[in-house]
Structure 1
Amino acid sequence: MAKATKKQALGRGLSALLKDPQNDIQSAEDKNADKLVGHIVELELSSIEVNPFQPRTSFNEESLRELASSIKELGVIQPITVRKLEFDKYQLVSGERRYRASKLIGLETVPAYIRIANDQESLEMALVENIQRQDLDPIEIALSYQRLMDEISLTQEQLSDRVGKNRSTIANYLRLLKLDPIIQTGMRDGFLSMGHGRALINVDDPQLQLNIYEKILQKSLSVRDTEKLVREMQEGNSKTKVTSPSSSVPPTFKKGIKEFSEYLGAKVDVKVTKKGNGKLTIPFKSEEDFERIKKLIQSED
């Protein structure tokens, strides 16, 4: 207990030090910098801004409320990490969920580690720490990897060393970014797993990817079922029932098909080739049904 009290007192002492304009620490060479960097400091939430380099773009509200309840009972067990911007102004490097949850229950201060870093270092710290410690979805992780490579000029090998992941693992995540944007959104929303995504990557045609994606959603296909479906299509298995991209219906036709079907009282089928020509099929159940449909079409003349 005495040890905890000492730590809290130290945090308050450093907080007071930071409030003194004469001790405004901007670099590791400044006076008293050694007392600040690497220590836990109680910072006012109002002095902290969120990090624009944060790879996470959405936060589950229920999960945040659960974390807020835990913080209310036990406090912030793991300090957040911030970097110093200017006098009494800080920016989050990692710990945005703890930051948001603390604000949710009305806390005024939060324990924090302070780092002095430039924007590039902050970007790298934010991305690497979030990749390692946050439950990002596969697409968010892939985007974080890509951003590290693009903005800090890292190779996959160098990135592997920074984040402690095998190069093959990083390559598999990066390949997910080649998927159709609709499928990427499905992964971000939790409709597909990374396993589904890896199976779909092997399909080169974007429209065919979307056809399989719809099948996965409609039939709740497992990863194994999806891999089998992709394999059958690649082998040209005639039993595969996924619509060929040459006969798939563009989105602009779908509304018209629905209107045709409702007007004629029959499930109209339309097939359109890549060249834009196509075929309209109107089924009928009997001679009487045929006459009924014919009259409906002729009445439009």
Structure 2
Amino acid sequence: MSKRKGLGRGLDALFSDVPSAEDRLQTLPVASIRPGRYQPRQEIDEAALEDLAASIRAQGVIQPVVVREVGVSEYELIAGERRWRASQRAGLAEIPAVVKAVPDEAVLAMGLIENIQRQALNPIEEARGFRRLIEEFGLTHEAVAAAVGRSRSAVSNMLRLLSLPEPVQDLLHDGQLEMGHARALLSLPVIDQLAFARRIVEEGWSVREVERRIKGVSEGAAPTVVRPAPVHTADPDVARLAETLSEALGARVAIRAGKTGRGRLTIDYSSLEELDGLLEKLLEKSMR
């Protein structure tokens, strides 16, 4: 994609070719507006949306949405998706809107800014939004930082979250992990991050507790969680079984299968506390 004029010079530069006098406040049919392609928020709280719809039924839409024209009497949302969806739910036929003429990269930046200011994005959504600005529009980390009002280091640290394994990102996205947990996990080898993240969720460890345990690992102590070991067999079925056991127990599992059908199953642990936890899990499963 070719870079548009203004890239890399911050949000003000993105709007430099469009005088603010061209902005138009209009009343538009709700049905003529479609969701934005560059909306960074992927989920909207249903209860909060219903509360907003009730408020709109009583008082109307106080703050206009922001849109851009994409066709004859067709508009795309830039900011205000919750207000637009709540207006639909409230049964409104029309909605006040500010119509802007802005390029794609400015649309994404504006959507990010609105949601960041409203604290409506989780860390993964925010990081993915930053990545889109970089990959789709060629912005530098400095330009993204200027566009969204963050420091360059803050943007870089958010982007590092996307190097975590996808299941760990999902835990952070769903609120099962805090930002502090994720920052601590980044200091571990990638192969250890998922097992450690699952232990955080299972044990309810605080950020401080996680930092303490990871510090112990970095100083040479035995890791609190261990990675699955290679399975000493060429049988893919046995290999899958070992992997399943390792995932279920959160511990290193090795299976040595003999030619006669006999073999050895080994489960590693790094402390008596972890051994107790493994025994509890095994007993729970045996009682089912």
TM category (shorter chain) comes to: 0.7 to 0.9
Runs of 4+ in structure 1 over 4 Å off: 254-258, 275-278
**Contact 1:211–1:243 (8 Å) recurs in 2:** yes
TM-superposed deviation, 1:145: 0.7
Equivalence for 1:212:
196
Match of residue 82 from structure 1: 67
Query: Shift of the alpha carbon at 1:254?
Result: 6.0
Q: What's the counterpart of residue 253 of structure 2? A: 271
Task: Write the deviation string for residues 177-220 of structure 1: whole angstroms up to 9, x where unpaired.
Answer: 010100101111110111111111111233x1111111111111
The question of whether the paired residues in 1 share the 8 Å contact of 2:195 and 2:226 is answered with: yes
The aligned runs of 1:14-53 (5 Å cut-off) are 37-53=22-38
TM-score by length of 1: 0.70
Paired amino acid for 1:60: D
Ranked by relative contact order (alpha carbons within 8 Å, sequence separation 6 or more), the top structure is 2
Structure 1 pair 150–281 and aligned structure 2 pair: CA distance change class (3 A)? closer
- Residues 1:242 and 2:225 are matched in the alignment: yes
Q: What is the CA distance between 1:45 and its match in structure 2?
A: 0.3
Q: Output the CA distance in 1 between the equivalents of 2:68 and 2:198.
A: 45
AA partner of residue 198 (structure 2) = E
Partner of 1:253: 241
In the aligned structure 1, how far is the partner of 2:209 from the partner of 2:230?
Answer: 24
Structure 1's unaligned 5+ residue stretches are: 1-26, 259-266, 283-301
TM-score when normalising by structure 2? 0.73
**Which of 86, 89, 94 in structure 1 is aligned with 2:79?**
94
Supply the distance in 1 between the matched residues of 2:54 and 2:147 (Cα, whole angstroms): 34
Q: Deviations over 1:148-170 (max 9, x none)?
A: 11122111112111111111111
Matches within 5 A, 1:218-237: 218-237=202-221
Distance 1:39 1:162, change over 3 A: same
Percent identical across equivalent pairs? 37
SS of the residue aligned with 2:193?
helix
Count, aligned residues:
239
1:202 to 170, 178, 187: 187
- SS of residue matched to 2:108: helix
Do 2:228 and 2:253's aligned partners in 1 also have CA atoms closer than 8 Å? no
CA distance in 1, matches of 2:241, 2:175: 29
Matched, 1:165 2:150: yes
Paired letter, 2:153: S
When residues 71 and 180 of structure 1 are mapped into structure 2, their CA distance, relative to the original with a 3 A threshold, is same
Q: Does 1:106 align with 2:94?
A: no
SS at match of 1:246: coil
List per-residue Cα deviations over 1:106-157 (Å, max 9, x = no partner).
Answer: 1111111110124344334334433444510000000011111112211111
Is residue 270–residue 279 contact of structure 1 (8 Å, CA) maintained in 2?
A: no
Structure 2 segments unaligned to the other structure (5+ residues): 1-16, 232-237, 268-288
Report the AA paired with residue 272 of structure 1: A
Paired AA for residue 236 in structure 1: G
